[in-house]
A and B are shown apart, each in its own frame.
Chain A
Amino acid sequence: DTEVTQTPKHLVMGMTNKKSLKCEQHMGHRAMYWYKQKAKKPPELMFVYSYEKLSINESVPSRFSPECPNSSLLNLHLHALQPEDSALYLCASSWTSGNTVGSYEQYFGPGTRLTVT
């Protein structure tokens, strides 16, 4: 099973709302990622968790708050977003230990299409 699931599939929120995106994987991966993808652009890395600890934050604004409750779950809490934050938000997971070929192959979920009004 190489499936990463994300909920919700679509989300529309106002600039004063608080919402959360959820991601789940059951492949035993110990690294999980959040990416943001604008239309016609490649994914941009936001956060990396390794063994449930935040290892990379790509200078993301504090209105995005990641959380990794356990090795299978990854959340992205959203608060006071701006219209320019509208995008496809992708979650991915991978192995993280060792240097073998498969260690860092990332498997992506289908994404959450976020619209901020």
Chain B
Amino acid sequence: TQLLEQSPQFLSIQEGENLTVYCNSSSVFSSLQWYRQEPGEGPVLLVTVVTGGEVKKLKRLTFQFGDARKDSSLHITAAQPGDTGLYLCAGRDFGNEKLTFGTGTRLTIIP
């Protein structure tokens, strides 16, 4: 069974601070996706990274895929209250549609 461990599990910081969330596995994935989920809602896709070492930016969010395609990070610059939510990484198996979700990071930005 593939496992994706996220750290930290919980993070509460002041508005304007920077933060990094990590997603680690011993398995290699063909691609990795990051989602944000609000309470009682479905996850919303933020980004997909495919190539080892790939870096993608989405406004104040920077996503990186590890060189070996086993890990990923999400960095948020100048966090805002609207960034509050559950952040989930999800790795895709080779050759099928199956996604394995990470353990999740619950982020709270304090105004």
Contacts and interface: CB of A to CB of B under 8 A. Distances in A.
Interface string B73-101: 00000000000000010101000111101
Q: How many interface residues does chain A have, given as a range?
A: 20 to 34
Interface in B37-64: 40-45, 48, 50
B101 A104 contact: no
Contact of B42 (A41, A50, A105, A111): A111
Nearest to A102: B48
A106 to B, nearest CB: 6
A104 B31 contact: yes
25 contacts: A31-B97, A40-B106, A42-B88, A42-B102, A42-B103, A42-B104, A43-B43, A43-B88, A45-B99, A55-B96, A56-B98, A88-B40, A101-B48, A102-B48, A104-B92, A104-B97, A104-B99, A105-B48, A106-B90, A106-B99, A107-B45, A108-B43, A108-B45, A111-B40, A111-B41
Contacts of B40: 88, 110-111, 113
Contacts, number: 64
Interface in A11-46: 31, 33, 40-45
Contacts of A45: 98-99
Interface of A: 4, 6, 31, 33, 40-45, 48, 50, 55-56, 88, 90, 92, 94, 96, 99, 101-102, 104-111, 113
Contacts of A44: 101
A48 B97 contact: yes
Main secondary structure of the interface of A (DSSP, over half): strand
Q: How many interface residues does chain B have, given as a range?
A: 20 to 34
A73 B56 CA distance: 33
A7 to B, nearest CB: 13
A75 B96 CA distance: 21
Contact of B97 (A43, A55, A107): A55
B101 A43 contact: yes
